[in-house]
């Protein structure tokens, strides 16, 4: 096995949160779906079964497919929030923890470069964690779909649309799209946490929170602007959605529910805007800033005395 893969494995041995967090998240989502299925009289969208049945008969099969896919895609939201938190806590400790317990002396006694080490930690936070979350999302979607199918079959005849290949093609594509774009989108944040983790003399948590807050305050006082705050807000799931789904990303993705119809995109493929996302300057600026932070973290691990 390749040396880099060993470094990744090492990280997963240490940070079990990589798979435990998505597992817990999936358990909550599936448990919630089952709980809601048992206790709620409403299926969704604030409609009762008669209204839903009515709507069901009005909608074209194509629209039903899109609606089912969209409902299942909502499962990604708690996972995206979970990834933000686990990325944060994993990354601020990734280079600080080994200094605190002096195990950095053991890791440094092995022929592994500092760049490889730092990149392995970046990879865990920006690739492995979103990938594990995506697996959790998919499992949750199957669970939620099963719970919903049972409930719907009991009330209406919609189950055919829940299990249609079109729905799952849509769902899987959307999962993959969100995963890949969010990996790229969060790089500067993770890189910043890693830099803090490499430099902080103590409490990387404090530094990771207070440094941006201080910078925002300073900006507000000196220039009277809120550029940094806007930039940081953009790196939240809200900002991510605005960039990967276009302007409608923050406004229900173009789904408008009416009494007897739903205005909606023809398919979920039409709401994904990969080319526009790739053309967003914020994406590339973020990646460049991330690269600078990572270079700083590698430099700090390489050249700063790690054991005093």
Partner 1 sequence: MATLIEAKDLTKTYGATRALDGASFTVGSGRIVGLIGPNGAGKTTALKAVLGLARCEGSLSVLGLDPYKDRNELAKRVSFIADVAVLPRWLKVHQAIDFVAGVHPHFRRDRCEQFLARTSIKRTSRVRELSKGMITQLHLALVMAIDAKLLVLDEPTLGLDILSRKAFYDSLLSDYMDAERTILVTTHQVEELENILTDLLFIDRGRVVLDSTMDDVALKYHQLVTGPAEADAARALKPLSERQLLGRHVFLYEGADAEALDQLGEVRQPSIADLFVAKIQGGAA
Element (H, E) at 286: helix 281-303
> Does residue 39 bind partner 1 (CB under 8 A)?
no
Binder of partner 1 out of 29, 31, 110, 225 (CB under 8 A)? 110
> Does residue 13 bind partner 1 (CB under 8 A)?
yes
Q: Least distance (Å) from partner 1 to the CB of residue 83?
A: 22
> Does residue 1 bind partner 1 (CB under 8 A)?
yes
> Does residue 10 bind partner 1 (CB under 8 A)?
yes
Binder of partner 1 out of 39, 165, 281, 303 (CB under 8 A)? 303
Q: Least distance (Å) from partner 1 to the CB of residue 255?
A: 46
By beta-carbon proximity to partner 1, the closer residue of 123 and 173 is: 123
SS (H, E, C) the chain: CCHHHHHHHHHHHHCCHHHHHHHHHHHHHHHHHHHHHHHCCCCECCECHHHHHHHHHHCCHHHHHHHHHHHHHCCHHHHHHHHHHHHHHHHHHHCCHHHHCCCHHHHHCCCCCHHHHHHHHHHHHHHHHHHHHHHHHHHHHHHHHHHHHHHHHHHCCCHHHHCCHHHHHHHHHHHHHHHHHHHHHHHHHHHHHHHHHHHCCCCHHHHHHHHHHHHHHHHHHHCCCCHHHHHHHHCCHHHHHHHHCCHHHHCHHHCEECCCCEECCCCHHHCCCHHHHHCCHHHHHHHHHHHHHHHHHHHHHHHCCCCC
206-265 residues in contact with partner 1 (CB under 8 A) are none
> Does residue 111 bind partner 1 (CB under 8 A)?
yes
> Does residue 306 bind partner 1 (CB under 8 A)?
yes
Cα atoms found within 13 Å of the Cα of residue 31, Cβ hemisphere only: 6
Number of residues that bind partner 1 (CB under 8 A): 25
Q: Least distance (Å) from partner 1 to the CB of residue 206?
A: 23
48-107 residues in contact with partner 1 (CB under 8 A) are 98, 101-106
Cα–Cα distance for residue pair 284/185, rounded to 1 Å: 9
By beta-carbon proximity to partner 1, the closer residue of 7 and 174 is: 7
Q: Least distance (Å) from partner 1 to the CB of residue 92?
A: 17
> Does residue 305 bind partner 1 (CB under 8 A)?
yes
Only segment of 61-69, 70-78, 110-118, 178-186 that touches partner 1 (CB under 8 A): 110-118
Binder of partner 1 out of 27, 53, 89, 108 (CB under 8 A)? 108
Q: Least distance (Å) from partner 1 to the CB of residue 4?
A: 9
> Does residue 201 bind partner 1 (CB under 8 A)?
no
> Where on the chain is the footprint of partner 1 (CB under 8 A)?
1, 3, 6-7, 9-10, 13-14, 98, 101-106, 108-113, 303, 305-307
């Amino acid at each position: 096995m390749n040396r880099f893969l060993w470094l990744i494995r090492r990280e997963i041995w240490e940070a079990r949160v990589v798979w435990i967090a998505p597992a817990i998240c999936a358990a909550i989502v599936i448990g919630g779906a089952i709980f809601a299925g048992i206790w709620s009289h409403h299926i969704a969208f604030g409609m009762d079964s008669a209204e839903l049945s009515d709507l069901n008969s009005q909608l074209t099969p194509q629209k039903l497919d899109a609606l089912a896919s969209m409902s299942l895609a909502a499962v990604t939201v708690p996972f995206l929030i979970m990834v933000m938190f686990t990325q944060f806590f994993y990354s601020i400790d990734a280079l600080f923890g080994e200094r605190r317990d002096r195990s950095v002396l053991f890791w440094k006694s092995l022929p592994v470069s500092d760049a490889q080490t730092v990149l392995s930690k970046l990879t865990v936070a920006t690739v492995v964690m979103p990938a594990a979350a995506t697996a959790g999302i998919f499992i949750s979607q199957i669970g939620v779909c099963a719970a919903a199918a049972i409930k719907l079959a009991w009330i209406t005849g919609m189950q055919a649309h829940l299990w249609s290949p079109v729905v799952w093609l849509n769902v899987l594509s959307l999962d993959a799209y969100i995963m890949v774009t969010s990996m790229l989108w969060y790089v500067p944040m993770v890189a910043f946490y890693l830099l803090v983790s490499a430099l902080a003399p103590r409490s990387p948590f404090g530094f990771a929170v207070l440094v941006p807050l201080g910078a925002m305050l300073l900006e507000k006082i000196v220039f009277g602007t809120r550029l940094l705050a806007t930039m940081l807000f953009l790196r939240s799931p809200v900002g991510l959605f605005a960039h990967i789904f276009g302007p409608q990303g923050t406004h229900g993705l173009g789904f408008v529910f009416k009494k007897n119809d739903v205005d909606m995109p023809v398919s979920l493929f039409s709401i994904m805007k990969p080319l526009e996302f790739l053309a967003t300057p914020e994406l590339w600026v973020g990646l460049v800033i991330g690269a600078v932070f990572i270079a700083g973290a590698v430099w700090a691990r390489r050249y700063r005395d790690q054991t005093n």
